[in-house]
Amino acid sequence: MTTRANTAPAHAWRLGLGLAVALLLSGCSILSDKPQGTATIYAPEPHVQPDPAWPTVNWQLALTPPTGARVIDSLRIAVRPTPGEIQVYSGAQWARPPSEMLQDTLLRTFEDSGRIAAVARQGSGIAADFRLLLEIRRFESDYAGQAVPSATIEVSAKLLHTRDQKIVASRTFLQAQPATSTSVPDVARAFEQSLTTVGHDIAGWTLTSGQGYQPAPRS
């Protein structure tokens, strides 16, 4: 009695399983943190001009590291060709993840504005009166049914008074800057403009919200 008839199906099953695993791994690699091979690196440099309407405040602010889902806060440049689908641009990456770009934009905006007593990253040792909590919900090139995509940034912001441990204000900021074409360099420039607008709006809102808060009297 021979068992040759049974080995062929087993071999085919093992081969099929191996192919399935390989396909699964190749599908996941599109959302990995770092692109494979040589990539063009893009480094937006937003410069925010302070608004004359912003108040000058005498309190100190700590910027917490922004949070975001791994697929959002990645060196890969995300693109949404259709609703419900996320891909990445091939051969392109950010110089820094979106969370660092956003935090650096805000830090520079506050510092250059001259409207705040002190601002620093959380953990720097300053006695902060307020903490700015940020969550990046979207940082993607979104076609949204159009011929060219928009650099879309959505950020949820909360301003926390440290002594009272109270959220004194919260707001969601959304900016979608259309690119001038579908090319990645033009998309990257659109992200620079989106970051500039978002940085401007969050900074002004933070200063105004903090200035309007009345802390509870010390007991």
What pLDDT tens digit does each residue of the chain (219 aa) get?
333 334 344 443 333 333 333 332 333 333 444 545 689 999 999 999 999 999 999 999 999 999 999 999 999 999 999 999 999 999 999 999 999 999 999 999 999 999 999 999 999 889 999 999 999 999 999 999 999 999 999 999 999 999 999 999 999 999 999 999 999 999 999 999 999 999 999 999 999 999 999 887 776
145 three-class SS? coil
Write b or e for each residue in 92-128: b if 16 or more Cβ atoms lie within 10 A of its Cβ, otherwise e. bbbeebbbebbbbbbbbbbeebebbebbbebeeeeeb
Torsion of CA 89, 177, 83, 100, to 10 degrees: 60
**Alpha-carbon gap, residue 5 to 82, rounded angstroms:** 48
Q: In whole angstroms, give the CA distance from residue 100 to residue 134.
A: 11
What is the C-alpha separation between 44 and 188, in angstroms, rounded? 7
Cβ–Cβ under 8 Å, residues 115 and 56: yes
Separation between Cα atoms, residue 144 and residue 168, nearest integer Å: 34
- Alpha-helical runs (H) found in 114-180: none
Assigned token pair, 6 = 């049974």
pTM for the structure as a whole: 0.82
Q: How far apart are CA 63 and CA 90, in angstroms?
A: 33
CATH number of 56-212: 3.40.50.10610
